[in-house]
Chain A
Amino acid sequence: MGMTITEKILSRHAGLETVRPGMLINASVDIALGNDITAPIAIDAFRKAGGGPVFDREKVVLVADHFAPNKDIDSAEQCKLMRDFAVEQKLTHYYDVGEAGVEHALLPEKGIVVPGDLVAGADSHTCTYGALGAFATGVGSTDLAAAMMTGELWFKVPETMKFVYHGKRRPWVSGKDLILHTIGRIGVDGALYRAMEFTGETVRGLTMADRLTMANMAIEAGGKNGIFIPDQVTEAYVRDRAERPYEFYTSDPDALYHSVIDIDVEAIEPQVALPHLPSNAKGISEVGNIPIDQSIIGSCTNGRIEDLRVAAEILKGRHIAPRYRLIVIPATPAVYRQAMQEGLFDIFLDAGGVISLPTCGPCLGGYMGILAKGERAVATTNRNFVGRMGHPGSEVYLAGPAVAAATAIAGRLVGPEQL
């Protein structure tokens, strides 16, 4: 019997001929990742367990992105703790203010993660790297400590759900809309403990940016990982960036799936997930009249140059609604520079928006756009839980960059076609 791409990558890293869903395995990790929120706890656990050098100073990646540049004294202490550790361990992949960006945008961009990798990151959106054809999953801080120490981690081999997307995308429909629709269909625990394999003719036509967006939100359906079969798009993306040799895996035709879900893309319009679950997805034409106070365009989900270009296309020559706040957050320094060079900053500024430095910032309610009680934001981020972006009495509506930009102009939830 054949194996899925997820099973193949796991078996290779566990040194086993085959693995089957349900098996508990010990696997070697290619990249162990942490950030300024999760690394301090991992470093503490690492030191309490005896410390010593990390298993490989080139494979432990630490990024100061959540509350960095330090938003307050406590955040400064956490970043300092991580920085001191990175210096003491002579880590080659430590990213601080100036070089840092939102980790899941930064690692693929820099070629730190490559196809075929097994990545364990102490951040739930580590699943983003599945877009490259890697097995990548979020773990906790103690896991990160263990991975830093031994270079290995325990995993339960997940069953795989296969999602087959077919049909042509309507105007303005992006990877974000496909994944919001999918989560809306299966629910926030619809893929609990499972791998989500994204396939079909539509996804083969998606850019790497759109694939990264989709894999990013596998966790919002409870998934262990999201994954794409690497192809020419992958090859073109990684060829000049990969830091290490890479390997393309594919699923066997006779691989066994938990289920196969067909999605007719032609029926999907731009989506919005209403508060307070990512699964509350609706087509933009069905949401009714909802006044909004703020747009956030950024994050590991939609803070790449492609996303900023979509927003700029809509905002060009227009102005945001009165008393509206538009906050654009390029996810990495390279995206920042590129957007600046392409003149996108002028478009955002002329429209009445502001541009933030690369950070997670408001995505998790840190800073740079926190909401007051009763306020509503449309955000290109990935979570709309109670209190996620500020006061527990505020609301977050999740959407792609097109809806976030159009909404900024209208001052209420709309798509570009309703402007």
Chain B
Amino acid sequence: MKFRGRTWKFGDNIDTDAIIPARYLNIWDPQGLAAHCMEDADPDFIKKMKQGDIIVGGENFGCGSSREHAPIAIKAAGIACVVAKSFARIFYRNAFNMGLPIFESRELWERVSNGSEIEVDTDDGLIRIIGGDAEPLRIEPIPPFMQQLIDDGGLMKHIAKRKTQ
């Protein structure tokens, strides 16, 4: 699978309160949440971003609460995938469980600016920066079980599949 889009850069420790502030947690409809995606990190984010764009985070992306509203808001806003140096563990888990593609790359953050165009290619495990002659970057490999979750379409479908087998 390939994701090609413009990048939006955020720093280290982007917490779930920045991704979807708790004052909106009385909403659980994905589109309602998407309207406030990244609001406390960048209040105009949702106006500026386009479908298919890619979020590039620093260390510990998605730290803080367990709210699945965070990956839901990002996905429903139309973000194709998130690439970060590292992810907080519940966010990491949630993303795989509900089907938001996320990738770890320690180098990408330094190599792109806001609005760079990149292509994340999951088939060969590489990220290409478009318009430069830089070497492609390697995505951290995804454990086989997590790949299985993605292939099955998330945790609930994975369970359903296991039940019928």
Chain A residues close to B by CB (< 8 Å): 24, 37-38, 40-41, 44-45, 48-50, 66-67, 71-72, 74-75, 78, 121-124, 126, 138-143, 145-146, 149-150, 154, 188-189, 192-193, 219, 222, 224, 277, 364-366, 383, 385-388, 392
Bound-state CA distance A411–B162 (Å) is 59
Bound-state CA distance A193–B143 (Å) is 15
- In the complex the two chains form, is B25's CB within 8 Å of A392's CB? no
Q: A140-B67, A385-B17 are in contact. List 18 more A-B contacts (CB 8 A).
A: A37-B67, A40-B28, A49-B159, A74-B27, A123-B66, A124-B64, A139-B90, A142-B155, A143-B97, A145-B156, A189-B60, A364-B22, A366-B23, A366-B25, A383-B64, A385-B15, A386-B40, A392-B21
A375 CB to closest chain B CB (Å) equals 15
Bound-state CA distance A149–B23 (Å) is 30
- A121 surroundings in chain B (CB, below 8 A): 66
* Contact count A vs B, C-beta below 8 Å: 131
- In the complex the two chains form, is B63's CB within 8 Å of A365's CB? no
A49-B159, A189-B86 are known contacts. Are A139 and B28 too (CB-CB below 8 A)? no
| A73, closest chain B residue (CB) | B26
Q: Chain B 44-84 against A: per-residue CB contact (8 Å), 1 yes, 0 no?
A: 00000000000000011001111111001000000000000
Judge whether B93 is part of the interface by a CB distance below 8 angstroms. yes
Selected from A40, A45, A124, the residue in CB contact (under 8 A) with B66 is A124
A353 CB to closest chain B CB (Å) equals 24
Bound-state CA distance A75–B27 (Å) is 8
B38 CB to closest chain A CB (Å) equals 12
B165 CB to closest chain A CB (Å) equals 14
Judge whether B13 is part of the interface by a CB distance below 8 angstroms. yes
Judge whether B88 is part of the interface by a CB distance below 8 angstroms. yes
A276 CB to closest chain B CB (Å) equals 9
- In the complex the two chains form, is B22's CB within 8 Å of A138's CB? no
Bound-state CA distance A121–B65 (Å) is 12
- B59 surroundings in chain A (CB, below 8 A): 189
- B25 surroundings in chain A (CB, below 8 A): 37, 66-67, 364, 366
Bound-state CA distance A2–B163 (Å) is 35
- B157 surroundings in chain A (CB, below 8 A): 49
A142-B154, A388-B17 are known contacts. Are A24 and B143 too (CB-CB below 8 A)? yes
A41 CB to closest chain B CB (Å) equals 5
- In the complex the two chains form, is B26's CB within 8 Å of A75's CB? yes
Judge whether B120 is part of the interface by a CB distance below 8 angstroms. no
- In the complex the two chains form, is B159's CB within 8 Å of A78's CB? no
- In the complex the two chains form, is A142's CB within 8 Å of B94's CB? yes
4 closest Cβ pairs, A-B complex: A74-B26, A140-B94, A142-B97, A364-B22
